[in-house]
Protein backbone atom coordinates (compact mmCIF):
# COMPACT_ATOMS: atom_id res chain seq x y z
CA UNK A 1 0.00 0.00 0.00
CA UNK A 2 1.41 3.39 -1.01
CA UNK A 3 2.54 5.50 1.97
CA UNK A 4 0.07 8.18 3.02
CA UNK A 5 2.57 11.05 2.71
CA UNK A 6 3.25 10.08 -0.91
CA UNK A 7 -0.46 9.89 -1.69
CA UNK A 8 -0.96 13.37 -0.28
CA UNK A 9 1.67 14.84 -2.63
CA UNK A 10 0.20 13.39 -5.83
CA UNK A 11 -1.98 15.46 -8.19
CA UNK A 12 -5.64 14.98 -7.21
CA UNK A 13 -6.67 12.89 -10.24
CA UNK A 14 -3.70 10.55 -9.84
CA UNK A 15 -4.26 10.32 -6.08
CA UNK A 16 -7.91 9.34 -6.51
CA UNK A 17 -7.06 6.70 -9.13
CA UNK A 18 -4.49 5.08 -6.84
CA UNK A 19 -6.88 5.14 -3.89
CA UNK A 20 -9.55 3.52 -6.08
CA UNK A 21 -7.17 0.63 -6.79
CA UNK A 22 -6.40 0.22 -3.08
CA UNK A 23 -10.08 0.08 -2.09
CA UNK A 24 -10.95 -2.19 -5.02
CA UNK A 25 -8.25 -4.67 -4.00
CA UNK A 26 -9.49 -4.72 -0.40
CA UNK A 27 -13.09 -5.24 -1.48
CA UNK A 28 -12.17 -8.08 -3.83
CA UNK A 29 -10.28 -9.83 -1.05
CA UNK A 30 -13.22 -9.57 1.35
CA UNK A 31 -15.70 -10.67 -1.31
CA UNK A 32 -13.59 -13.79 -1.90
CA UNK A 33 -13.80 -14.71 1.79
CA UNK A 34 -10.52 -13.19 2.94
CA UNK A 35 -9.97 -10.66 5.68
CA UNK A 36 -8.16 -7.42 6.43
CA UNK A 37 -5.63 -7.13 9.20
CA UNK A 38 -5.86 -4.41 11.84
CA UNK A 39 -2.94 -2.53 10.28
CA UNK A 40 -4.70 -2.50 6.91
CA UNK A 41 -7.89 -1.17 8.47
CA UNK A 42 -5.90 1.62 10.10
CA UNK A 43 -4.29 2.48 6.77
CA UNK A 44 -7.66 2.54 5.00
CA UNK A 45 -9.06 4.77 7.75
CA UNK A 46 -6.12 7.14 7.33
CA UNK A 47 -6.77 7.30 3.58
CA UNK A 48 -10.39 8.13 4.28
CA UNK A 49 -9.26 10.95 6.58
CA UNK A 50 -7.12 12.24 3.70
CA UNK A 51 -10.12 12.14 1.38
CA UNK A 52 -12.27 13.96 3.92
CA UNK A 53 -9.74 16.80 3.90
CA UNK A 54 -10.32 17.20 0.13
CA UNK A 55 -12.62 20.21 -0.21
CA UNK A 56 -13.44 19.41 -3.84
CA UNK A 57 -15.86 16.68 -2.84
CA UNK A 58 -19.51 17.69 -2.74
CA UNK A 59 -21.44 17.76 0.53
CA UNK A 60 -23.06 14.45 -0.45
CA UNK A 61 -19.63 12.97 -1.18
CA UNK A 62 -18.32 14.17 2.18
CA UNK A 63 -21.27 12.47 3.88
CA UNK A 64 -20.56 9.21 2.03
CA UNK A 65 -16.92 9.33 3.08
CA UNK A 66 -17.85 10.01 6.69
CA UNK A 67 -20.28 7.10 6.67
CA UNK A 68 -17.61 4.83 5.20
CA UNK A 69 -15.11 5.93 7.85
CA UNK A 70 -17.56 5.03 10.60
CA UNK A 71 -17.61 1.45 9.30
CA UNK A 72 -13.88 1.11 9.95
CA UNK A 73 -14.13 2.08 13.61
CA UNK A 74 -14.13 -0.05 16.72
CA UNK A 75 -17.80 -0.93 16.29
CA UNK A 76 -17.39 -2.20 12.71
CA UNK A 77 -18.35 -5.80 12.03
CA UNK A 78 -15.39 -8.18 11.67
CA UNK A 79 -13.82 -7.90 8.20
CA UNK A 80 -13.68 -11.70 7.99
CA UNK A 81 -17.48 -11.69 7.71
CA UNK A 82 -16.98 -10.63 4.10
CA UNK A 83 -20.01 -9.34 2.21
CA UNK A 84 -22.13 -9.52 5.38
CA UNK A 85 -19.84 -7.14 7.27
CA UNK A 86 -20.01 -3.37 7.49
CA UNK A 87 -16.46 -2.88 6.22
CA UNK A 88 -17.19 -4.15 2.73
CA UNK A 89 -20.07 -1.68 2.43
CA UNK A 90 -17.69 1.14 3.28
CA UNK A 91 -15.18 -0.07 0.69
CA UNK A 92 -17.88 -0.33 -1.95
CA UNK A 93 -19.24 3.14 -1.22
CA UNK A 94 -15.82 4.77 -1.49
CA UNK A 95 -14.90 2.88 -4.65
CA UNK A 96 -18.01 3.97 -6.53
CA UNK A 97 -17.71 7.53 -5.21
CA UNK A 98 -14.16 7.71 -6.57
CA UNK A 99 -15.18 6.20 -9.89
CA UNK A 100 -17.76 8.96 -10.27
CA UNK A 101 -15.33 11.63 -9.06
CA UNK A 102 -12.79 10.64 -11.72
CA UNK A 103 -15.42 10.79 -14.45
CA UNK A 104 -16.03 7.08 -14.87
CA UNK A 105 -19.57 5.75 -15.02
CA UNK A 106 -19.40 2.24 -13.56
CA UNK A 107 -19.43 -0.40 -16.28
CA UNK A 108 -20.23 -4.07 -15.81
CA UNK A 109 -16.55 -4.88 -15.19
CA UNK A 110 -16.50 -2.39 -12.27
CA UNK A 111 -18.93 -4.51 -10.28
CA UNK A 112 -17.65 -7.19 -7.93
CA UNK A 113 -19.48 -10.48 -7.49
CA UNK A 114 -19.54 -10.99 -3.73
CA UNK A 115 -20.70 -14.60 -4.17
CA UNK A 116 -17.41 -15.72 -5.67
CA UNK A 117 -17.26 -18.85 -7.82
CA UNK A 118 -20.65 -20.48 -8.22
CA UNK A 119 -21.31 -24.04 -7.12
CA UNK A 120 -23.20 -25.90 -9.86
CA UNK A 121 -24.31 -28.54 -7.36
CA UNK A 122 -26.50 -25.94 -5.64
CA UNK A 123 -28.56 -25.30 -8.76
CA UNK A 124 -32.16 -26.41 -8.92
CA UNK A 125 -32.75 -27.45 -12.51
CA UNK A 126 -36.10 -28.02 -14.20
CA UNK A 127 -35.45 -30.87 -16.69
CA UNK A 128 -36.61 -29.93 -20.16
CA UNK A 129 -36.74 -26.16 -19.46
CA UNK A 130 -34.67 -24.85 -22.38
CA UNK A 131 -34.19 -21.52 -24.14
CA UNK A 132 -32.97 -20.42 -27.56
CA UNK A 133 -31.26 -17.05 -28.04
CA UNK A 134 -31.83 -16.06 -31.66
CA UNK A 135 -29.33 -13.42 -32.84
CA UNK A 136 -29.06 -11.59 -29.53
CA UNK A 137 -26.34 -9.12 -30.53
CA UNK A 138 -25.42 -7.38 -27.27
CA UNK A 139 -22.88 -9.17 -25.05
CA UNK A 140 -24.43 -7.35 -22.08
CA UNK A 141 -27.85 -8.83 -22.87
CA UNK A 142 -26.43 -12.31 -23.39
CA UNK A 143 -24.67 -12.13 -20.02
CA UNK A 144 -27.76 -10.84 -18.24
CA UNK A 145 -29.89 -13.56 -19.83
CA UNK A 146 -27.47 -16.27 -18.71
CA UNK A 147 -27.77 -14.92 -15.18
CA UNK A 148 -31.58 -15.02 -15.30
CA UNK A 149 -31.51 -18.51 -16.82
CA UNK A 150 -29.36 -19.75 -13.95
CA UNK A 151 -31.62 -18.14 -11.36
CA UNK A 152 -34.80 -19.73 -12.69
CA UNK A 153 -33.66 -23.29 -13.33
CA UNK A 154 -33.01 -23.44 -17.07
CA UNK A 155 -31.50 -26.78 -18.03
CA UNK A 156 -29.95 -25.84 -21.39
CA UNK A 157 -29.26 -22.71 -23.45
CA UNK A 158 -29.04 -22.83 -27.24
CA UNK A 159 -27.50 -19.98 -29.24
CA UNK A 160 -28.07 -19.15 -32.88
CA UNK A 161 -24.95 -18.96 -35.09
CA UNK A 162 -25.09 -15.13 -35.04
CA UNK A 163 -25.74 -14.69 -31.31
CA UNK A 164 -23.12 -12.75 -29.32
CA UNK A 165 -20.48 -14.92 -27.67
CA UNK A 166 -21.12 -15.75 -23.99
CA UNK A 167 -17.33 -15.79 -23.56
CA UNK A 168 -17.01 -12.19 -24.73
CA UNK A 169 -15.54 -10.28 -21.74
CA UNK A 170 -18.66 -8.11 -21.34
CA UNK A 171 -21.04 -11.06 -21.53
CA UNK A 172 -18.92 -13.23 -19.26
CA UNK A 173 -18.57 -10.48 -16.65
CA UNK A 174 -22.27 -9.61 -16.70
CA UNK A 175 -23.22 -13.29 -16.26
CA UNK A 176 -21.12 -13.39 -13.05
CA UNK A 177 -20.14 -17.04 -13.24
CA UNK A 178 -23.33 -18.40 -14.82
CA UNK A 179 -21.71 -19.12 -18.20
CA UNK A 180 -19.57 -21.75 -16.46
CA UNK A 181 -22.41 -23.72 -14.89
CA UNK A 182 -25.22 -23.75 -17.49
CA UNK A 183 -24.77 -26.08 -20.48
CA UNK A 184 -24.87 -24.10 -23.73
CA UNK A 185 -24.08 -24.61 -27.40
CA UNK A 186 -24.52 -23.00 -30.80
CA UNK A 187 -27.00 -24.73 -33.07
CA UNK A 188 -29.63 -23.88 -35.70
CA UNK A 189 -33.32 -24.27 -35.15
CA UNK A 190 -35.06 -27.19 -36.88
CA UNK A 191 -35.24 -26.58 -40.62
CA UNK A 192 -32.34 -24.13 -40.71
CA UNK A 193 -29.63 -26.71 -41.34
CA UNK A 194 -30.69 -26.85 -45.01
CA UNK A 195 -29.47 -23.26 -45.33
CA UNK A 196 -25.93 -24.44 -44.65
CA UNK A 197 -25.98 -24.03 -40.88
CA UNK A 198 -24.77 -27.14 -39.15
CA UNK A 199 -24.46 -28.10 -35.50
CA UNK A 200 -21.66 -30.10 -33.95
CA UNK A 201 -24.12 -31.51 -31.43
CA UNK A 202 -27.89 -31.45 -31.88
CA UNK A 203 -30.85 -29.30 -32.80
CA UNK A 204 -33.39 -28.50 -30.05
CA UNK A 205 -36.43 -30.75 -30.35
CA UNK A 206 -39.15 -28.58 -28.83
CA UNK A 207 -42.01 -28.10 -28.30
CA UNK A 208 -41.40 -24.41 -29.00
CA UNK A 209 -42.90 -21.09 -28.05
CA UNK A 210 -41.70 -17.56 -28.78
CA UNK A 211 -41.44 -14.50 -26.58
CA UNK A 212 -42.93 -11.97 -28.96
CA UNK A 213 -45.51 -9.20 -29.19
CA UNK A 214 -49.00 -10.06 -30.39
CA UNK A 215 -49.17 -13.35 -28.53
CA UNK A 216 -51.10 -14.73 -25.57
CA UNK A 217 -50.77 -12.44 -22.52
CA UNK A 218 -48.32 -13.76 -19.95
CA UNK A 219 -50.92 -14.48 -17.28
CA UNK A 220 -53.01 -16.62 -19.67
CA UNK A 221 -50.28 -18.47 -21.52
CA UNK A 222 -50.15 -22.24 -20.91
CA UNK A 223 -46.50 -22.88 -20.12
CA UNK A 224 -45.23 -26.42 -20.76
CA UNK A 225 -43.45 -28.54 -18.20
CA UNK A 226 -40.82 -29.10 -20.90
CA UNK A 227 -40.14 -26.94 -23.92
CA UNK A 228 -37.93 -24.38 -25.67
CA UNK A 229 -38.58 -20.65 -25.41
CA UNK A 230 -37.25 -18.70 -28.41
CA UNK A 231 -36.12 -15.14 -27.72
CA UNK A 232 -35.38 -12.93 -30.73
CA UNK A 233 -32.94 -10.13 -31.41
CA UNK A 234 -33.01 -6.68 -29.81
CA UNK A 235 -33.73 -4.94 -33.12
CA UNK A 236 -35.94 -7.26 -35.16
CA UNK A 237 -37.42 -9.63 -32.62
CA UNK A 238 -38.03 -13.25 -33.53
CA UNK A 239 -37.37 -14.22 -37.15
CA UNK A 240 -40.26 -15.23 -39.45
CA UNK A 241 -38.88 -18.78 -39.57
CA UNK A 242 -38.74 -19.05 -35.79
CA UNK A 243 -42.23 -17.60 -35.45
CA UNK A 244 -43.56 -20.17 -37.92
CA UNK A 245 -41.94 -22.89 -35.83
CA UNK A 246 -43.44 -21.51 -32.61
CA UNK A 247 -46.89 -20.93 -34.11
CA UNK A 248 -47.01 -24.54 -35.29
CA UNK A 249 -46.14 -25.69 -31.78
CA UNK A 250 -47.08 -23.83 -28.55
CA UNK A 251 -47.52 -20.32 -29.93
CA UNK A 252 -46.35 -16.95 -28.62
CA UNK A 253 -46.30 -15.36 -25.18
CA UNK A 254 -46.40 -11.60 -24.67
CA UNK A 255 -45.88 -9.30 -21.69
CA UNK A 256 -48.61 -6.65 -21.33
CA UNK A 257 -47.06 -3.18 -20.99
CA UNK A 258 -48.66 0.14 -20.13
CA UNK A 259 -46.10 2.77 -21.08
CA UNK A 260 -45.65 4.96 -24.15
CA UNK A 261 -42.67 2.91 -25.33
CA UNK A 262 -44.67 -0.30 -25.61
CA UNK A 263 -41.63 -2.56 -25.28
CA UNK A 264 -38.90 -3.45 -22.79
CA UNK A 265 -35.29 -4.59 -22.98
CA UNK A 266 -34.96 -8.18 -24.16
CA UNK A 267 -33.04 -9.35 -21.08
CA UNK A 268 -35.67 -7.79 -18.81
CA UNK A 269 -38.51 -9.40 -20.76
CA UNK A 270 -36.68 -12.73 -20.69
CA UNK A 271 -36.36 -12.62 -16.90
CA UNK A 272 -40.03 -11.78 -16.40
CA UNK A 273 -41.23 -14.68 -18.54
CA UNK A 274 -38.72 -17.13 -17.07
CA UNK A 275 -39.86 -16.40 -13.53
CA UNK A 276 -43.48 -17.00 -14.53
CA UNK A 277 -42.58 -20.22 -16.35
CA UNK A 278 -40.60 -21.53 -13.37
CA UNK A 279 -43.45 -20.68 -11.00
CA UNK A 280 -45.88 -22.63 -13.18
CA UNK A 281 -43.57 -25.64 -13.20
CA UNK A 282 -43.32 -25.55 -9.41
CA UNK A 283 -47.06 -25.02 -8.98
CA UNK A 284 -48.97 -26.08 -12.11
CA UNK A 285 -52.42 -25.33 -10.65
The pLDDT tens digits of the residues spanning 236-258 come to 899 999 999 999 999 999 999 99
The pLDDT tens digits of the residues spanning 144-160 come to 999 999 999 999 999 99
Answer whether residue 41 is part of any domain: yes
Whole domain around residue 48: which residue ranges?
4-110
Predicted confidence band at 49 (pLDDT cuts at 50, 70, 90)?
very high
Query: Do 171 and 106 share a structural domain?
Result: no
Answer whether residue 163 is part of any domain: yes
Query: Do 87 and 41 share a structural domain?
Result: yes
pLDDT in the model for residue 54: 92
- 32 Cβ partners below 8 Å, 6+ apart? 116
Answer whether residue 224 is part of any domain: yes
Q: What is the Cα–Cα distance from 139 to 136, expressed in whole angstroms?
A: 8
Instruction: Mark which of 57, 86, 110 sits at the end of a domain.
Output: 110
CATH of the domain at 127: 3.40.1280.10
Query: Do 132 and 84 share a structural domain?
Result: no
The chain-wide mean pLDDT, for the chain, equals 86
Q: What is the Cα–Cα distance from 2 to 208, expressed in whole angstroms?
A: 58
Q: Is the pLDDT of residue 134 over 90?
A: yes
Give the residue, 109 or 238, on which the prediction is more confident: 238
Answer whether residue 184 is part of any domain: yes
Query: Do 82 and 124 share a structural domain?
Result: no
- 184 Cβ partners below 8 Å, 6+ apart? 146, 156, 157, 158, 159, 166
Query: Do 73 and 17 share a structural domain?
Result: yes
Q: Distances in Å between the alpha carbon of 275 and those of 76, 89, 153, 172, 230?
A: 37, 29, 9, 22, 15
pLDDT in the model for residue 105: 59
Residue 208 β-bridge partners: 228
How many domains would you assign to the chain? 2
Answer whether residue 105 is part of any domain: yes
pTM of the prediction?
Answer: 0.73
Query: Do 182 and 100 share a structural domain?
Result: no
Query: Do 254 and 149 share a structural domain?
Result: yes
Instruction: Mark which of 61, 78, 110 sits at the end of a domain.
Output: 110
Query: Do 53 and 30 share a structural domain?
Result: yes
Answer whether residue 115 is part of any domain: no
Q: Distances in Å between the alpha carbon of 216 and those of 119, 164, 210?
A: 36, 28, 10
Q: Distances in Å between the alpha carbon of 208 and those of 63, 126, 144, 149, 223?
A: 53, 16, 22, 17, 10
Predicted confidence band at 73 (pLDDT cuts at 50, 70, 90)?
low
Query: Do 137 and 30 share a structural domain?
Result: no
Instruction: Mark which of 48, 81, 110 sits at the end of a domain.
Output: 110
Query: Do 261 and 132 share a structural domain?
Result: yes
Query: Do 70 and 141 share a structural domain?
Result: no
Average pLDDT over residues 104-125: 67
Answer whether residue 28 is part of any domain: yes
Query: Do 105 and 129 share a structural domain?
Result: no
pLDDT in the model for residue 38: 81
Amino acid sequence: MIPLHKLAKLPRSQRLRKITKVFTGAEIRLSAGGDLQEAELRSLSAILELLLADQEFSAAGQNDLQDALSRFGADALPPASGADGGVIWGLNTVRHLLLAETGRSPADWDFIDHQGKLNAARRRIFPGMQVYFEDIRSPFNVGAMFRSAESFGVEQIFLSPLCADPLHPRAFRTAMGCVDIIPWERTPLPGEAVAGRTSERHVPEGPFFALETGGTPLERFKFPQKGVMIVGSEELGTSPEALTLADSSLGRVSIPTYGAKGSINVSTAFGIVLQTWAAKIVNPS
